[in-house]
């Protein structure tokens, strides 16, 4: 495993914690720690578990169980009844325990007396008593010190009290449980009839309250009927609906007749040539007081007859009498009008007929509309009354159901009080035996030591597996690829290694398959810069594959090794003895002298040149601008291999014209933060970024 200094360990932990705060990934934080730290931590955890398990003294438990001699639900029904309990039995059982027996067990006076008698003290020597809590189906009383003392529980479903004593001394644990159980039985030796009497009183109050609410609802119902002037709401509502249907039917018929006679009058006015006759008709009808009186009487009789047609039938005597009176009035009006005419013509006779009929039907329409409005208003009142009465009726039904249940419970409890009631008995006395000898508070049994050991072994094995994955760099590669999925184009290349020059053709073709998306992303850029984090991450192989791809696409391609520090591509391609970029910058060679032709599938190549100390200041790098200006005119695609980021901050890339970037990294711990940095910058820049892709090179584990 090797030796790790304390400073290195501190640095690893600090770096891992910082990355975890950013990524919120606890597994990655563990993976940042080296294998020795993982093994030491796992061993420490196993040691702590062992100490807790073996070195703590057990706290013994002794339990006494107390129940009633008989179930109350059996007494109520007078026979055997299986689960589930009836509602009445549950109610009585809960009230019995909660109001009588439990009242004693959580009494502070009894608890104080017991604490003094058993001398239960805390670490400072003072007597201690911890209060109780109670829930609908569970009551618990605990007064203890450091896990030693009494715990009393009652569960309503089993009608059972459990009184447990805890102590590091098994005899004292038994004494705690038995003595408190004896005190409880002594105080509860009397018949529980008083508790049932309390239940009867509560049921009486409940019944009286329900009946008071029923009387209140009856009064509200009476007020609603009085306010809306209604007796039987449903019957009146149904009758009103039928009435509305009848009114609408008669209204439609009268409206059609009224419209028909109005059209006839208008048509008579249009066809008559002698307008003076019609004017004479209007003067006579408006100026004759007898005609005016008869006309008003005819309108009143028409409205009365329309009302009878809705409320009564046409066979009713009142309807027939009114109809006969209306006909007589019409005849008198017609006779009086004809007597007033200065000449008798067909026009005046037709006009008189049409005018009287139109008057009758117009009065019918007006009266039917008034009746319909009144009926619809009353229907709204009845709907509101039905809603209020419905709510009150539902409340009364609910109260009736509650009253029935309360009366049943009252009868059952009264019957119970007239019979002998059972008392408490001990069904399981407190003792320390083989079943509970090894019980203690924190871990139930020592045989679980084996399970805890397996658990610790599992953690140790997990940490070892993580360490193995850490050594193989697979874990880091997975996180790197996951981080790149939502960023720029990326390629996952299994490995960049070639055994001989003869295999380079197939090797480049294989790489092109992996970086195909990146190749497409660099189609529009004339200059593509390939860079890596450190030396040996495979940028030369990626650059050569890019050059091969674009050459196959029919472009003139130039490959330039700008890594003047490492010269990896120049050495790898076998051109370390040729003049190159370094000589051009120094001014010793021309452009034509540094370009190598007829090599590497006929792809022109500019080597890095000799390894000489060149002062790469901005002023000394100006020839690069001239170089790329000339090269850009001669070649459609220039692939430029740059200096790794880990070297000195060289300024070669600053001399390049506008270009696209491709970053090549070797998967592993050293490049995790680089991937995180580049993806963050890409997300920040978005469309303005010149980064067109990232290549993750998987090393051989």
Q: Is residue 127 part of a domain?
A: yes
Q: 502: exposed, middle or buried (C-beta count within 10 Å: 0-12, 13-18, 19+)? A: exposed
A 10 A CB-CB count for 423 gives 14
Q: Is residue 249 part of a domain?
A: yes
Question: Rg (Cα) of the chain, in Å, rounded?
Answer: 54
**Residue with the two structure tokens 């890596």:** 532
Token pair in block for residue 685: 């820049």
Same domain, yes or no: 309 and 394: yes
Give CA 197 to chain center in angstroms: 51
SS (H, E, C) 577-634: CCCCHHHHHHCCCCHHHHCECCCCCCCCEECCCCCCCCCCCCCCCHHHHHHHHHHHHH
Average pLDDT rounded to a whole number, residues 116-130:
56
Domain-embedded: residue 587:
yes
From residue 531, how far is each of 528, 536, 681 by CA, in Å? Answer: 10, 11, 16
Question: What separation in angstroms does the CA of 588 have from each of 556, 574, 584, 585, 592?
Answer: 27, 22, 6, 8, 12
Which of 60-74, 237-251, 375-389, 429-443 is predicted with the least confidence, judged by mean pLDDT? 429-443
Query: Are 126 and 240 in a shared domain?
Result: no
Number of domains in the chain: 4
Does residue 197 form part of some domain? Answer: no
Distance CA 364, CA 257 (A): 10
Looking at the structure, tell me whether residues 36 and 157 fall in a common domain: no
The whole-angstrom separation of Cα 678 and Cα 693 is 10
pLDDT digits (tens, 9 = 90+) for 301-323: 777 777 767 676 666 677 677 77
Give 249 or 688, the one with higher predicted confidence.
249
495 and 569 share a domain?
yes
Position 204 in a domain: no
- pLDDT on residue 570: 81
221 domain residue, yes or no = no
The C-alpha atoms of residue 642 and residue 560 are separated, in whole angstroms, by 9
- Cβ atoms of 564 and 581 within 8 Å: the answer is yes
Q: Is residue 137 predicted with pLDDT exceeding 80?
A: no
Please determine, for residue 98, whether its predicted confidence score (pLDDT) is greater than 50: no
Q: What is the mean pLDDT of residues 578-595?
A: 81
Is residue 286 located within the same domain as residue 151? no
In whole angstroms, what is the distance from residue 641 CA to residue 659 CA?
12
Looking at residue 212, its pLDDT comes to: 92
Residue 138's CB is within 10 A of a number of other CB atoms, namely 12
- The enclosing H or E element of 154 equals strand 148-155
Note whether 480 and 384 are same-domain residues.
Answer: no
Q: Which residues pair with 164 in a beta bridge?
A: 63, 151
Local structure of 515: helix, strand or coil: coil
Adjacent-strand bridge partners of 68:
424
Structure confidence at residue 347 (pLDDT): 60
Which residue range is the domain that position 496 belongs to?
Answer: 474-697
489 plus 382 within the same structural domain: no
Q: What is the DSSP string of 234-293?
A: HHHHHHHHHHHHHHHHHHHHHHHHHHHHHHHHHHHHHH-S-HHHHHHHHHHHHH-HHHHH
Residue 461 is assigned to a structural domain of this protein: yes
Give Cα separations from 686 to 487, 637, 689, 691 (angstroms).
Answer: 9, 24, 6, 9
**For 4-8, 92-96, 380-384, 529-533, which range has the lowest pLDDT when averaged over its residues?**
4-8
- The reply to whether 26 falls in a domain is yes
Spatial neighbors of 192 by CB under 8 A, at least 6 apart, are 96, 100, 101, 421, 423
- Pick 527 or 516 by higher pLDDT: 527
Residues 166 and 260 in one domain: no
Residues 188 and 255 in one domain: no
Confidence of residue 15 (pLDDT cuts 50, 70, 90): very low
Over the range 660-694, which residues count as b (16 or more CB within 10 Å of their CB) and which as e? bbbbbbbbbeebbebbbebbeebeeeeeebebbbb
- Other Cβ atoms less than 10 A from the Cβ of 656: the count is 18
Distance of CA 30 to the CA centre of its chain: 32
Q: Are residues 486 and 458 in the same domain?
A: no
Most confident of 77-86, 308-317, 491-500: 308-317
Same domain, 505 and 459: no
The pTM is what?
A: 0.36
Q: What are phi and psi of 639, to 5 degrees?
A: -100, 115
Is 602 found in the same domain as 551? yes
CATH number, residue 535: 3.40.50.300
């Amino acid at each position: 495993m090797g030796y790790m200094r304390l400073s290195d360990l501190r640095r690893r932990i600090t770096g891992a914690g910082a990355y975890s705060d950013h990524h919120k990934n606890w597994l990655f934080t563990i993976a940042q720690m080296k294998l020795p730290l993982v093994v030491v931590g796992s061993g420490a955890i196993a040691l702590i578990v062992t100490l807790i398990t073996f070195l703590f003294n057990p706290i013994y438990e002794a339990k006494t169980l107390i129940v009633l001699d008989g179930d109350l639900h059996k007494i109520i029904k007078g026979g055997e009844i299986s689960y589930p309990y009836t509602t009445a039995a549950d109610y009585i059982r809960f009230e019995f325990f909660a109001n009588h027996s439990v009242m004693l067990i959580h009494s502070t006076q009894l608890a104080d007396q017991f604490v003094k008698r058993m001398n239960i003290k805390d670490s400072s020597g003072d007597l201690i008593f911890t209060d109780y809590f109670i829930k609908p189906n569970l009551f618990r009383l605990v007064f203890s010190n450091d896990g030693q003392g009494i715990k009393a529980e009652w569960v309503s479903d089993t009608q059972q009290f459990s009184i447990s004593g805890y102590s590091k001394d098994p005899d004292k644990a038994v004494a705690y449980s038995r003595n408190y159980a004896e005190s409880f039985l002594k105080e509860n030796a009397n018949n529980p009839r008083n508790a049932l009497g309390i239940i009867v009183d509560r049921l009486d109050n409940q019944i009286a309250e329900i009946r008071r609410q029923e009387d209140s609802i009856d009064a509200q119902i009476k007020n609603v009927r009085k306010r809306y002037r209604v007796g039987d709401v449903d019957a009146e509502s149904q009758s009103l609906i039928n009435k509305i249907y009848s009114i609408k039917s008669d209204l439609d018929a009268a409206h059609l007749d009224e419209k028909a006679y109005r059209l006839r009058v208008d048509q008579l006015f249009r066809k008559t040539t002698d307008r003076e006759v019609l004017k004479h008709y209007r003067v006579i009808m408006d100026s004759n007081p007898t005609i005016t009186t008869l006309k008003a009487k005819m309108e009143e009789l028409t409205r009365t007859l329309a009302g009878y047609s809705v409320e009564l039938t046409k066979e009713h005597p009142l309807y027939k009498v009114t109809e006969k009176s209306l006909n007589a009035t019409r005849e008198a009006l017609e006779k009086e009008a004809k007597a007033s005419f200065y000449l008798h013509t067909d026009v005046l006779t037709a006009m008189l007929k049409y005018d009287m009929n139109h008057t009758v039907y117009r009065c019918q329409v007006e009266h039917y509309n008034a009746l319909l409005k009144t009926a619809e208003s009353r229907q709204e009142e009845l709907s509101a009354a039905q809603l209020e009465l419905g709510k009150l009726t539902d409340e009364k039904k609910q109260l009736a159901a509650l009253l029935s249940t309360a009366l049943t419970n009252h009868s059952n409890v009264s019957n119970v009080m007239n019979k002998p009631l059972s008392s408490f008995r001990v069904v399981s006395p407190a003792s320390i035996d083989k079943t509970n000898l090894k019980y203690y508070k924190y871990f139930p049994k020592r045989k679980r030591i084996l399970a805890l050991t397996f658990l610790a072994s599992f953690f140790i094995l997990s940490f070892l597996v993580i360490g193995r994955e850490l050594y193989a760099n697979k874990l880091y590669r997975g996180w790197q690829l996951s981080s790149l999925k939502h960023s720029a184009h990326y390629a996952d290349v299994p490995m960049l290694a070639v055994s001989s020059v003869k295999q380079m053709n197939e090797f480049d073709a294989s790489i092109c398959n992996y970086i195909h998306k990146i190749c497409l992303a660099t189609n529009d850029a004339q200059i593509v810069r390939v860079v890596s984090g450190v030396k040996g991450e495979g940028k030369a192989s990626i650059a050569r594959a890019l050059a091969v791809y674009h050459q196959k696409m029919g472009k003139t391609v130039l490959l330039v090794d700008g890594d003047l520090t490492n010269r990896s591509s120049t050495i790898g391609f076998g051109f370390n003895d040729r003049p190159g970029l370094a000589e051009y910058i120094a001014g010793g060679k021309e452009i034509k002298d540094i370009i190598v032709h007829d090599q590497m599938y006929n792809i022109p190549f500019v080597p890095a040149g000799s390894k000489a100390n060149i002062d790469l200041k901005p002023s000394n790098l100006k020839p690069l601008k001239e170089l790329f200006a000339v090269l850009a005119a001669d070649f459609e695609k220039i692939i430029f291999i740059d200096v790794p980021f880990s070297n000195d901050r060289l300024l070669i890339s600053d001399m390049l014209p506008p270009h696209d970037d491709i970053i090549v990294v070797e998967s592993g711990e050293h490049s995790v933060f680089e991937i995180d940095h580049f993806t963050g910058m890409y997300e920040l820049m978005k469309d303005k970024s010149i980064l067109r892709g990232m290549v993750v090179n998987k090393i051989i584990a």
